[in-house]
Structure 1
Amino acid sequence: MKVLLVTSSLSRSGGGVATAVQALSRSLLATNADVNVVGLRDSGWERDTEEWQGIPASPLRVLGPSAIGYAPEARGCLERSGADIAHSHGIWKYPSRAVAKWGASTGRPYVVSPHGMLDAWALKHSAWKKKIAARLYENTHLRRAGCFHALCEAEAQAIRELGFRNPICVIPNGIALPSFEERKPAPWRSIVPEDHRVMLFLGRLHPKKNIAALIEAWPSDAANTNWHLAIAGWDEGGYAEVLRKLVKARHLEDRIHFLGPMFGSEKDAAFRSADAFVLSSLSEGLPIAVLEAWSYGLPVLQTEACNLPEGFREKAAFRLSLEPDRIAREIRVFMGMTPEAQQEMGRNGRRLAERSFCWGSVAGQLLQVYAWLLDGGTPPACVRI
């Protein structure tokens, strides 16, 4: 089976989508599937090229505004691939049009993974641009999909509420489980006393992550509990400066620390050294960062918008609200838990990650969906008709 994965970004500039496509590609290749990846070349490609080592990836040159992502080479690249099936990751940019055209010209099926981009909050963000894209090409791309890929039941419901009646497979993102090794030096070792505790945020610095509310909620007397907030992530559109000003206005520079983007061994050290992980998002598809935190055995503080209700059911996550005043009370409750109770929450998360979120299982389920779209027969168990 020749599988073509198509995405609007091949770098960290695209958030967690590029990371998910990389991991899925490696897992599919491990099954001996013939896999190729096509994506837009953006400002982060040169920096992240090594992340794609061993994966056949084609970065496409973009002409004009990056928000549109017009890549004139896209359609020819797709047609030359000889793929049996295509899988779109992310929407709203020119690759959507190219995939729809490829499907129409070849008669071959394709899958669409919106990665949370059809959730209500996401649709309201830059709504006018999305309405234009929908009218020009995105509605066609979505309507013609052989199957949607939703990361969770909530995303599947959001797709249905928009009126789409295509089949939907519900398959979560996955993670590669780290081994338990000796703790590496913490990235914050020069600014946080060794006997103090750290709650880690790791991801894009973007309004939908609701980091501003988290900063406003951070207890001003956190010195009494020895907790620090470490914010690790890459800036998007200058938002980091907005957040820094909030920290300065609250006089919390000695308790809230900006560490910049972290990848590879540095990210691994951050997860191994943290005492908890937090994601206060307003909207998510299914956040890989939470799955990674569980894989490292960390207790997680998350909102319901993270779409991981199993975390609450399995007592692997502490529930956060969206508003600063409520978040402040909830963080105090978490900080007041005994270290033993927090560690048990982390162990529950590790067990949950091992059981439900490994990339090998994700790739296997998607291969079943691809085969069903190509050959027909009984839909796989993950498919909602």
Structure 2
Amino acid sequence: MKILSVISSMDPVKGGLSQGVRNLVPALAALGVHSEVLSFDAPDAGFLGQDDFPVHAIGPAKGPYAYCAALRPWLEENVSRFDAVIAQGLWLHNNAGTWRVLRQLRRAQSAAGPRFYVMPHGMLDPYFQKAPERRWKALRNVLAWKLFEGAAVNGADGVLFTCAQELLLAREPFSPYRPQRELDVGFGIQAPPPLTAAMAPAFAARCPGLGDKPYLLFLGRVHEKKGTDLLLRAYLDLRRKRPDMPALVIAGPGLESEHGRSLLAMADGQPDVYFPGMLRGDEKWGALYGCDAFVLPSHQENFGIAVVEAMACGKPVLISPQVNIWRECAPGGLVDEDNAAGVTRLLTRWFALSPAERSARGVAAFAAYRRHFAAGEAAQRLLRALRAVQNEPMGVAA
């Protein structure tokens, strides 16, 4: 089978979507699947050229909708090489634009062509329509759904979900919502690189002053949605009562944003709070392997790649039930609500555990990663689903 993923950007700074693709493609390759990626990045973007699979950059895209005029001619010339096309993510031109071209090609050529799938990656979560700070974006999404986005989702041969919770939540925010197939295919990550002697120093260089202190780790985009303000505030409140607490590292892009600047101001003058920015390579894995626990009290998280990466490193995870995979993760950590009281309880419960209990949670976290989130298993589930659809009649709505 040959699969084309269409994505607005492969830039790792823009979130976990591109990393999800980078995790999936090698796992599919191990099963004999040939994958290529079509992105709307500029061909000379600095983050391109480092992947072991073809990435066709046909941008740069224009405007907030990431419109890419080169999409149609590229698909017209190349799409016949593929058995399946997956639009990775919603609300940008890569989804509805791809669906529109494929539908027109099917009609013009009177041939089935490749199957078309949409993988929302949590972008149909009702949170995005309810969050007060997203009022105008929510209205924009309603209009986009009525005009073209809903037609692409409902017209696709299947909608691919990363977990059962995402599938259920996707049914809530928009109407009409009548996908031809809802497919819970799961998601996974590649096994982390083995711990090496270079990793800890690489991370330490990004956190001068941390030294050998134990620490809790947040690793991800520094954004209000992630609950980083709740985490920092709860940590500082508890630290006033127990100065022997481990340090807190909040790592990731976004410190230049208004939310990031507010966190820096909140932590100003406070000991043992570190903001190393975005971590890559040995820096990132050194941070994960070295932490006591990973913390993500997010208000909405479809999958949480960094959560699973921490589990793959044998680290307990402290998360909210708004992380959609929390049920699978629960044996390997603690779960509490995404509000001030909940995050305070989360940290308090963690500090109350004995060293043996914390170690046991780490062992359980690694076991849960192997059971639910290994990339090879996720790739097999996806491939089984695609092959099953391949053998069914082509839907008329497509």
TM-score over 0.5 for the alignment?
Answer: yes
Q: Does 1:120 align with 2:136?
A: no
Q: Which residue of the other structure, out of 356, 373, 381, is the alignment partner of 2:389?
A: 373
Q: Tell me, yes or no, if structure 1 residue 156 matches structure 2 residue 158.
A: no
Counterpart AA for 2:159: F
Partner of 1:380: none
- Report matched runs for 1:359-370 at 5 Å: 359-370=375-386
* Residue equivalent to 1:190: 208
The residue identity in structure 2 corresponding to 1:62 is: P
Match of 1:166 among 159, 176, 180: 180
Whether 1:234 aligns to 2:249 is no
Higher mean displacement: 125-134 or 208-217: 125-134
1:287 is aligned to 2:286: no
Which residue in 1 is equivalent to 2:266? 246
In the TM superposition, residue 191 of structure 1 has moved relative to its aligned partner by: 1.4
For 2:59, the aligned partner's letter is R
Structure-2 separation of matches of 1:340 and 1:70: 53
- In 1, the alpha carbon distance for the partners of 2:128 and 2:261 equals 23
Deviation at 1:129, TM superposition (A): 2.7
- Show the counterpart of 2:192: 178
Q: Indicate if the aligned counterparts of 2:188 and 2:374 stay in contact, CA closer than 8 A.
A: yes
Which SS does the other structure have where 2:95 is aligned? Answer: helix
Report how many aligned residue pairs link the two structures. Answer: 369
Q: In the alignment, residue 224 of structure 1 is paired with which amino acid?
A: P
- Determine which of 348, 355, 359 is the counterpart of 1:339: 355
Please name the residue that 1:4 is paired with: 4
Larger deviation, residues 71-80 vs 217-226: 217-226
State the shift of 1:362 in Å.
1.4
Segment of structure 1 superposing worse, 341-350 or 356-365 = 356-365
Cα shift at 1:236 = 7.3
The answer for the alignment partner of 1:383 in structure 2 is none
Residue number in structure 1 paired with 2:93: 94
Alignment of structure 1 residues 44-55 onto 2, 5 Å:
46-52=45-51, 54-55=52-53
Q: Within 1, Cα distance between the matches of 2:226 and 2:42?
A: 22
1:208 to 225, 229, 235: 225
Following the alignment from structure 2 to structure 1, what is the Cα–Cα distance between the partners of residues 297 and 49?
A: 31
- Within the alignment, does 1:352 sit opposite 2:352 as a pair? no
Matched residues in 2 for 1:338 and 1:373: separation? 49
Amino acid aligned to 1:329: R
Q: Which residue in the other structure is 1:17 paired with?
A: 17
How far 1:330 sits from its partner (Å)? 2.5
The question of whether the paired residues in 1 share the 8 Å contact of 2:158 and 2:181 is answered with yes
Name the residue aligned to 2:396: none
1:286, distance to aligned residue in structure 2 (A): 0.7
Distance 1:120 1:145 in 2: 21
Deviation digits for residues 139-161 of structure 1 (CA, Å, limit 9, x no counterpart):
11111111111111111111233
Shift of 1:214: 0.9
Name 1:299's counterpart in structure 2: 316
Tell me, in whole angstroms, the C-alpha distance in 2 between the residues paired with 1:64 and 1:308. Answer: 34
Q: Which residue of 1 aligns with 2:272?
A: 255
User: Any stretches of 5+ residues in structure 2 without a counterpart?
Assistant: 107-111, 394-398
Deviations 1:260-286 (A, max 9, x none): 101111111111111110011101111
Structure 1 residues 47 and 63, CA, compared in 2 at 3 Å: closer, same or farther?
closer
Supply the AA of the counterpart residue of 2:65.
I
Of 153, 158, 165 in structure 2, the residue corresponding to residue 147 of structure 1 is 158
Q: % of aligned pairs identical?
A: 24
Where 2:253 maps in the other structure, the secondary structure is: coil
| Kept after mapping to 2: 8 A contact 1:209/1:282 | yes
Query: How far 1:199 sits from its partner (Å)?
Result: 0.4
Aligned residues of 2:255 and 2:277 also touching (Cα < 8 A): no
Alpha carbons 2:317, 2:329 under 8 Å: kept? no
- Equivalent of 2:117, from 111, 115, 140? 111
- Is the aligned partner of 1:72 residue 2:69? yes
Q: Deviation at 1:349?
A: 0.6
Cα distance between partner residues in 2 of 1:69 and 1:115 = 18
1:133 to 122, 125, 144: 144
SS at match of 2:45: helix
Question: Which whole-Å deviations, capped at 9, do the CAs of 1:115-162 have from their partners, x for residues lacking one?
Answer: 111101123432133233323321111111111111111111112334
Alignment CA distance shift 1:12-1:236 (3 Å): farther
Q: Specify the code of the residue in structure 2 equivalent to 1:290.
A: V
